[in-house]
Amino acid sequence: MSLQETESQSGGAPEPRANPILLGHERAEATLAEAARSGRLHHAWLVTGPRGIGKATLAHRFARWLLAGRAEETTQDALFADAAPAGDGLWLDPNDPLFHRIATGGHADLMVAQREYDERAKRLRSEIVAADVRKVSGFLSLTAGEGGWRVVIVDGAEDMNRHAANALLKTLEEPPSRTVLLLVSHAPGRLLPTIHSRCRKLPLKALDQATVESLLGVYRPELAPDETAQLAALGEGSIGRALELADAGGLALYGELIALIAPLPQLDTVRLHGLAEALARARPEPGTRDPFEVAAGLLGWWLARLIRARAVGRLPPELVAGEGEVMARLAAAGNLDQWVEVWEKINRLFARASSVNLDRKQVLLNAFFALARVAS
């Protein structure tokens, strides 16, 4: 089955547990496979890297491969096994019954610890709590259901509160035999040093633009080539971010933001109020990002690009026609410290809008007022 055929059936990027595709992390796959086949597989791995690059997909991919007994296969066994696509060291055929069981959460020897749904608040909890990790201890106290390995995936490990992290430490200190824990984290600095010290590190890098474009072609084949290229650039090495932007109208939002930035220090107040009003009232579709948060992220991202350009004296590639000229003019209008200060101020504004329910329209207006002052 080809890459395109596999995904065209799903209609989009599947959850990590059901995703048969992983591109750009062949070295990490080889590291895990070699460690497992050596007979000296470390009991805990800390899989790190930016958001949305495939860390959880890699963890589930390794879990499938390990639970399918591939680590114990001899060279002779491998000759008669279903051929994997070239370069897919941990590949398991999506038609394999074990693949389906893991995709549907039906394998007795795999457990995933993550933020759980709060029935009272009607939303995901903001953290992984101790009760979630105690379930891991209970799971590992049982005999392996199928007589082989047991795998625990913590996704994402940085979401554990201190009580949860301390509860996990007990398991990391005295792991049962034939057990592997895969801690997935985009912010490993938030983890306890004692957790770091008990894990083998497996850092993943951001994907290159060609890989993100290739994945967008699979997950969102309806996009035009220029849209795919723009989204890949905005994604900055993260297919997850690129897909979120695609689904939230990120390209149109980015274009609108650049149109408002272009005349600074002059403000098109009618256009600005219109965008601010629309974003303040927007209600995201289920499973998609809030357009206000997308706009906030894009504005902060553009400012960070301007700051880098001002610091190194080199403009980044244009995503919108005329963007480079605008960035060059604004970079020269203020000094580096001023742009860093306004970037920090705007980030704080947007963070407060999310945490304490500030008036979203006013927050966006204030952000552009701050930009106009530096640009004047």
48, 168, 178, 186, 376 from 55: Cα distances, Å = 7, 20, 22, 9, 44
Domain at 3-203, CATH class: alpha beta
Residues 6+ apart with CB under 8 A from 117: 123, 124, 125
> Which two structure tokens, joined as six digits, stand for 345?
């101020």
Structure confidence by residue, pLDDT tens digits, 83-114: 444 345 899 999 999 999 999 999 999 999 99
Round to whole Å and give the CA distance between 65 and 364: 48
| Residue 86 CA, distance from chain mean position | 25
In terms of Cα–Cα distance, which of 217, 289, 242 is closest to 54? 242
Structure confidence by residue, pLDDT tens digits, 346-367: 999 999 887 777 899 999 999 9
**Alpha-carbon dihedral sign for residues 94, 97, 99, 105:** positive
* pTM strictly above 0.95: no
Backbone conformation region of residue 244, classed left if phi is above 0, alpha if psi is from -120 to 50, else beta: alpha
pLDDT tier at 2, thresholds 50, 70, 90: very low
Structure confidence by residue, pLDDT tens digits, 254-291: 999 999 999 999 999 999 999 999 999 988 777 678 89
Round to whole Å and give the CA distance between 369 and 376: 11
Contact 154, 181 (CB under 8 A): yes
DSSP, collapsed to helix, strand or coil, labels residue 24 as coil
| Residue 329 CA, distance from chain mean position | 33
Structure confidence by residue, pLDDT tens digits, 41-75: 999 999 999 999 999 999 999 999 999 999 987 54
